[in-house]
Structure 1
């Protein structure tokens, strides 16, 4: 029996996902993978539900579906330049389907990859086919690295067969349609901004996709705290980890710091430490930290001013989080008024 199996289940889940993220960091940066932060980010997204990671056959199917989706994204890139209205309608429809797969089907990992294929690949194709090719390679290789990291972490910290996370129940069709539509409307402004400068704003689209998913799960009362608060906490963690990394710029220190920070964020997410925030708050903070930290490492490697780029990126992240909260509140209130108002047929019957 693995030593990790002696830990309480909540602690085991925290260690498992944190270990998978750290292993993905070590593999992606150690092997000089293109856009290496994609691998640990996908490890967190695919492993957040605490379900067993995809098996070899499931991974193969996932990669095939991902290749098809990314291929569609490559085709949509030139279409954005030749027929932008038609391309935007197709992208909106694909993004809606991906969000519905997440909020109704409960398949967050495949849905996120599908959303990436319909947004960041077409946006990158408008700027450079080389950038699009690098992103496709990063997503495919990153998915493999993420799943292998989850396999290794799962072997070290296995799940109790009797306490596997239950499959998410499907919502009613009308509710699922509304939640997917609302999540899509959260993403589209960030995507349109990304089209103006894909190389700079691609992380913003990634963040908006995750925010749109969170907006579908947040209540009206807690939306600001869940989305803006988690974004701010993720940014603070990224700054703190970057400062710790400056003490010794080594891959193994980098992986160890990611492990420690991920553990601190995941412990309340799985109940190993009490918290008044929902699990999604802590998962969103971790994904924000991974995106900002990965972008900072890329900026440093390219000779850019890391702190200036981080400040701009963090301001954009907070702005898109504030927009997500505003859109969430306005759309939800509009829908509640619409549902509460009497229909014409009821008014006629009353008369």
Structure 2
């Protein structure tokens, strides 16, 4: 086959994967909001992570197994709740250590989805449990239901848009060396931990910020050069898209229009995510932009349904997102400078 034919085939495969990601994310969003699930933004966020990282449909057995593992991973946050309530210093240290190990196992060749769920459990579930154990169980249920929905939608998307038989499965990135994995996992844990401390003051209000922090931690593990620039850029771009989405949705407010607009915005971002080596920005940039869009938009819909001032709440939330991201950038720059200085010392 000629070089042009190979390039055209790869472009077609990337187009199919982008379309599956867009359809799957929009379906997860419409289902969770349509059925009135608690914390409905969790399902499309989980769907985006699953559809961006899995290039083959999972069998029923594998899907249920992954859901069980995710339930155990997220439920692990419940074990930290008594320490955060009665021994805060020990609880915070245990949370930080758990985040380090969660990010590290993904960098060392483990399942990145399991690592993400473990990080979510150690942050969202444990922090929610300090306020109300019922809220913590609600977060666990939202994460597990979101994953089960994502796996189901993944199978549906592959049935609608199958992968060509001749296309080999994506190669998993090689595992990092132990020292490199330790360093990047430490960076990611330090990015997330201040948000955990902030959220302890009001767990219910800061739940979207925790989701954003976990996404930033995950992105900092996958982006080496220009990490700070990409973290800020993806957050700002996600906020801009959320404003445009909200304006477009206001033209005709309906669940199906919510689905169709998400399909359009997700498709635009997914095409960039799967652009391959030709892309100027990393896939993590586009995935974090999509996640930021979903969190901001989903919370605005919830604020509107509750009768809150959507624009004031959005401005406050966006300011917190930018603050968390700027802290993450500062932490990455300081740690990277120290790493370069130590490596250049004979």
TM-score band (shorter)? over 0.9
SS of structure 2 residue aligned to 1:165: coil
How far did 1:113 drift?
A: 0.9
Kindly indicate whether residue 142 of structure 2 is the aligned counterpart of residue 138 of structure 1.
yes
Which digits, 9 at most, give the CA deviation of each residue in 1:204-247, with x for residues without a partner? 11111111121223234x22321100101111111111111111
Which digits, 9 at most, give the CA deviation of each residue in 1:248-305, with x for residues without a partner? 2111110000000001111111128964222221111001101111111111122111
Name which of 200, 208, 215 aligns with 1:195.
200
> Which structure 1 residue ranges, 5 or more long, are not aligned?
343-351
- Count of aligned pairs: 337
Q: Which residue of 2 aligns with 1:117?
A: 121
* Contact 2:24-2:157 at 8 Å conserved across structures: yes
How far did 1:123 drift?
A: 0.4
Give the Cα–Cα distance (whole angstroms) in 1 for the partners of residues 250 and 212 of structure 2.
25
How far did 1:8 drift?
A: 1.0
Kindly indicate whether residue 64 of structure 2 is the aligned counterpart of residue 60 of structure 1.
yes
* Contact 1:22-1:259 at 8 Å conserved across structures: yes
How far did 1:7 drift?
A: 8.2
Give the Cα–Cα distance (whole angstroms) in 1 for the partners of residues 238 and 308 of structure 2.
22
Give the Cα–Cα distance (whole angstroms) in 2 for the partners of residues 170 and 274 of structure 1.
24
> Which structure 2 residue ranges, 5 or more long, are not aligned?
1-8
Give the Cα–Cα distance (whole angstroms) in 2 for the partners of residues 317 and 171 of structure 1.
30
Give the Cα–Cα distance (whole angstroms) in 2 for the partners of residues 336 and 276 of structure 1.
25
Kindly indicate whether residue 259 of structure 2 is the aligned counterpart of residue 263 of structure 1.
no
Which digits, 9 at most, give the CA deviation of each residue in 1:174-212, with x for residues without a partner? 111111111111110111111111111111111111111
Q: Which residue of 2 aligns with 1:48?
A: 52
SS of structure 1 residue aligned to 2:159: helix
**TM-score, length-normalised on structure 1?**
0.91
Q: Which residue of 2 aligns with 1:282?
A: 286
Kindly indicate whether residue 215 of structure 2 is the aligned counterpart of residue 246 of structure 1.
no
Q: Which residue of 1 aligns with 2:325?
A: 321
* Contact 1:100-1:177 at 8 Å conserved across structures: yes
* Contact 2:228-2:333 at 8 Å conserved across structures: no
* Contact 1:102-1:213 at 8 Å conserved across structures: no
Q: Which is further off, 63-72 or 251-260?
A: 63-72
* Contact 1:47-1:53 at 8 Å conserved across structures: no
Q: Which residue of 2 aligns with 1:176?
A: 181
How far did 1:142 drift?
A: 1.1
